[in-house]
Every structure is written in structure tokens, then in C-alpha cells.
Amino acid sequence: MTASLTGLGPILETPPTWPEGLTPEVLAAIELPTPFLAGDLRMVADRFQRFARALPRVRAHYAVKCNSAPEILRTASAQGAGFEVASIGELRMLQAVGVDPADVLYSNTVKPAAHIAQAAEAGLWRFAADSEGELHKIARVAPGSAVYIRIRVDDSGSVFPLSRKFGAEAHHARALLQEAKRLGLQPYGLTFHVGSQCAATSAWRQAIASAGRIMRNLQQDGIRLEMLDLGGGFPARYGDAVPSIEQIGDVIESALDELLPYEPLLIVAEPGRHMVAETAVMVASVLGREERAGEEWLYLDVGAYNGLMETQQTVGQWRFPLWSSRADHGVVEQVPYTVTGPSCDSSDTMFYGAPLPVTMSEGDRVFIASAGAYTLSYASSFNGFPPPATYFIER
């Protein structure tokens, strides 16, 4: 759904790091029931364009799991992006907005056999793997497919490491591609993931170096790969500074020049969070304010289980930028609040020591920025509280 807002005058002081199209003054003028997520598709398009300028040799394959709103998928497609999926359900979402499955990567390394078969039948032909069992499964239900092997790399510079669950060691990756060839599959490429919200630019250089060594060894086996997939991990701005996409692009571009034995025909990446996090703001209402054991508590109508699950995964340390609808925000004293959700679960608490105006009260609204990624895709209707509605702003 799209909300169109025009003719708004200044209502509130704008925080210095707030997204231009979703300032508190714009959000305060939206008279819709909360909670809701307000997104700006022009910002999404700009993200894809900026990514392409920073990484001219790398084609973005948007990670559908991050935010699968049809409007986001259509915008990504209009910007020339490919896509990455983790299930047949995500592929069906793409088909519903007109995306050709042949332009989709299936990067989940352990997949239901039925999903592989259905994806192949739809026209998807490239599948990730990191084990012999998965190669045999693909060969059985989607014979002749192209496979790319996920390698384990250092992801210690990220907020959400992934290497425990995914990725083959370098020597194993070489053996897997040899096995793929023996099984009649096409040994197509390598992929890695430096971990979600990675703040260490060196992580991409180290991972590309590892991929380059494997490619060099595979040449001795008579295998020349066609694709290198740089995975995801490209960070978005929350409460802490992160490298810009231009800084990351400089590191990646020089690593591609210096560390690969040859340049594959296709170099891709799977950005998700970087493309959409900063393009949306969650809008919630204060249900109540209480003092408990000397702490000021704010109860919101959105919580971890219906939109802010990443705050649970980081035990309240995920620093979403916060603002309020109060006209005295930025004028009166701010005090630390414990900010919790609407459910009857004490662990449904998102923020600790969050600075907001001392005057906060029932009915005020709280604006949670950088909320476009992994919010709605995680959201449930736990305790009967539904996920927030989504609206897109026309500027």
C-alpha cells in the first residue's frame, strides 16, 4: 500500500542521521493505526544504484529473505538486480512479480529435495551446496544443474556470524566440485558469506583470497569456474558507524584484481540488509509508561515477536535509532527507558537505557529507524498481536 504525503511543514527537529524521505515530521503526519512500517521505494532504488557504482563488476542478487514485500522485489527488479532465495516459497514470491527463475540463485546449502525439484522445473538452474549429501540430492532431483560451493571464511567481524552452520573448508570445496563433475553436475562457482552486518572491510579481501586459491587449484583439475558469489554481509547504518559501500567496494575491486587467477564470467553478491534497512522506519505507539524498581518502562504496540526480533538475538544490544512524535523532543531532558513490547512475555523487551523525552506518555509515538530489514520477515502474530502493516511513501 502506498501513502502519498505532500505539503508538510516543519513539525519536529530532524535527527542528523535520519533518512531524508522518512523524517519524524513526515511520519508524524501519517494518521494511520500503529504499528506500521513506512518505507521509501526511491531510497531503495538509490541503494541499488549506489551499490552498482561502488562495485561496477559485481551484479547484485537481492536476498529475498531480508524483506520480501512485493514493492521491494519489483523495485529491485526494475534496477536490474537478480535475486537469491532460500526456499521454493521465496521463488514463488518472485514469480508472482514477474521475475524469471533463470535469473535466481538458490543459495541455501541444505534444501528440501522437493524444493530443488520444483525450482528446477520452474527454470532455476543454479544451486548452492557445501556437502556431498547435497550434491547427490541435487543430482538426483535436478540432474545436470549448475552448482556453486559455499566455503567457510572468517566472519568474526560481523554481528551475526554464520560459519558454524554453513560452509566447507577450502580443501573440501575443491573435492566437492570434483564430485559435482563426476555426478554430471556443472561445477559452476564458489560462494562465501562474511557474516551479517560485517564492519570489517578486510573480511572480503581475505575471503576473495581464499576463493582465489581454490580456483587456482581447480585449474589443475581441469575445472574453470564461471561464477564467484561474494555473498551478503554488506552493512547498514544503525546506531554505530559502519564502512560505506564505497569503502567496501574499493577493497573488493582491488582484491578481485590482485587475488584471483582469472576473472570469472560472472561476479555477483547477495546484499539484503544494506539495500533496505535504512529505507524504512517502524512507527509504534506507547501503550503505557510505568516505573518498576527505579526503571522507567515504555510499553509499545510493537515488540520483538511481531517486528523487532533482531533485538532478541542480540539481547537488547541492537541499536536502532529512536525518535518520538513529541513536539518537545530535542528540547526537554531525555531519560533512559526500558522499551518493551505488547505481549505477555517478559523477554519481549527490545531496548535498555534508550534515551527519549522525560515527558513520554501513553499515546505518544516512537519512530524506530533502519527497520527495513529482517523486521516483517521475522514477524509473527504471537499472543494475538499481528505484524505491522506496511506503507510506502511517495515523495
- Which positions are catalytic? 344
Q: Which three cell numbers stand for residue 137?
A: 540430492
User: For the stretch 175-186, what's the b/e string if a residue is b when 16 or more beta carbons lie within 10 angstroms of its beta carbon?
Assistant: ebbebbbebebb
- Which of 126, 223, 100, 139 is CA-nearest to residue 173? 223
327 in Cβ contact with 365 (< 8 Å) = no
Q: Which three cell numbers stand for residue 281?
A: 522506519
159 in Cβ contact with 197 (< 8 Å) = yes
> If you write DSSP's letter for every residue of 273-339 in order, what string do you get?
HHHHGGGEEEEEEEEEEEEETTEEEEEES--TTTT-THHHHTTT-----EEES-TTTTTS-EEEEEE
12 in Cβ contact with 330 (< 8 Å) = yes
Report the alpha-carbon distance of residue 189 to residue 274 in Å, rounded. 24
- Which of 108, 23, 30 is CA-nearest to residue 64? 108
Going from the C-alpha of 262 to that of each of 101, 117, 257, the distances in angstroms are: 28, 33, 9
The alpha-carbon radius of gyration of the chain (Å, integer) is: 22
- Beta strand pairing call for 349-357 and 389-394: unpaired
213 in Cβ contact with 174 (< 8 Å) = no
Please state whether the peptide bond connecting residue 264 to the residue before it is cis, i.e. omega within 30 degrees of 0.
Answer: no
